[in-house]
Chain A
């Protein structure tokens, strides 16, 4: 059975801190790893990673994938209160799958002023 595990489950920091969120996966015929930010409702897309060692960056957020060790990290530098959210990691299987995503349980990030 496909599995995605995120750590830590929750994190409380102050504005300006840097955080690292972890995601490990065991997925048959792994194809890609996606990060989403979930505030009130819908998960909103952050990154999709398919290749090891290539960092994806968007402003203060960056992410990297290690396909040998089966994990990914999401870094947020100079955190702001608006970064407070649940961060979800999801893995997509290849093969005969039509794109089903297996999600981790999420990391709840709280950024205090």
Chain B
């Protein structure tokens, strides 16, 4: 069964460093999402991406964040200058056009020191 995959599973970085989190959505899906979950808190929406552009973003998704689909398979989230409060589990999700069901990847745990 097709799955969303994410790499790395765990990333440790120093405050102020740039990180890139990678996702490979399910191949026939057209809508892509990033969510994050700070330890002990709710899953929060960051951004949605469709037709090679951002379609919706939350107030969390400020100028430090960017997303890209550099080729036909990868979908990336870049954080330009990480802060301590960016430490969280980051989930990628994707869906086809005709359903609301989003399928989630296993997540990348980002730890900012």
Most chain A beta carbons < 10 A, residue from B48, B58, B89: B48
Determine if B42 and A45 form an interchain contact, defined as CB atoms under 8 angstroms apart. Answer: no
- Cβ of A53 within 8 Å of any chain B Cβ, yes or no, is no
> Are A99 and B95 CB-contacts (below 8 A) given A41-B106, A104-B42?
yes
Q: Which of A50, A98, A103 contacts B43 (CB 8 A)?
A: A103
Extra contacts besides A41-B89, A88-B43 (19): CB < 8 Å: A32-B100, A34-B101, A34-B102, A36-B104, A41-B106, A42-B107, A43-B43, A43-B104, A44-B104, A45-B101, A45-B102, A45-B103, A92-B100, A99-B48, A100-B58, A101-B102, A103-B43, A104-B42, A105-B41
Main secondary structure of the interface of B (DSSP, over half): strand
For the complex, what is the distance from the CA of A75 to the CA of B106, rounded to whole Å? 25
Smallest CB-CB separation from B51: which chain A residue? A98
Determine if B106 and A105 form an interchain contact, defined as CB atoms under 8 angstroms apart. Answer: no
Determine if A103 and B104 form an interchain contact, defined as CB atoms under 8 angstroms apart. Answer: no
Determine if B42 and A106 form an interchain contact, defined as CB atoms under 8 angstroms apart. Answer: yes
> Are A41 and B101 CB-contacts (below 8 A) given A98-B48, A98-B55, A103-B43?
no
Q: Which of B41, B48, B58, B104 contacts A42 (CB 8 A)?
A: B104
Q: Which of B56, B101, B105, B106 contacts A98 (CB 8 A)?
A: B56
Determine if A100 and B48 form an interchain contact, defined as CB atoms under 8 angstroms apart. Answer: yes
- Cβ of B91 within 8 Å of any chain A Cβ, yes or no, is yes
Which residues of A pack against B, CB within 8 Å? 31-32, 34, 36, 41-45, 48, 50, 88, 90, 92, 97-106
The 10 A-B residue pairs with the shortest CB-CB distance, nearest first, are A98-B55, A103-B43, A42-B104, A32-B100, A98-B48, A42-B106, A41-B106, A100-B45, A43-B104, A98-B56
Shortest CB-to-CB span from A29 to chain B, Å, is 13
Determine if B48 and A103 form an interchain contact, defined as CB atoms under 8 angstroms apart. Answer: no
For the complex, what is the distance from the CA of A104 to the CA of B4, rounded to whole Å? 22
Determine if B43 and A42 form an interchain contact, defined as CB atoms under 8 angstroms apart. Answer: no
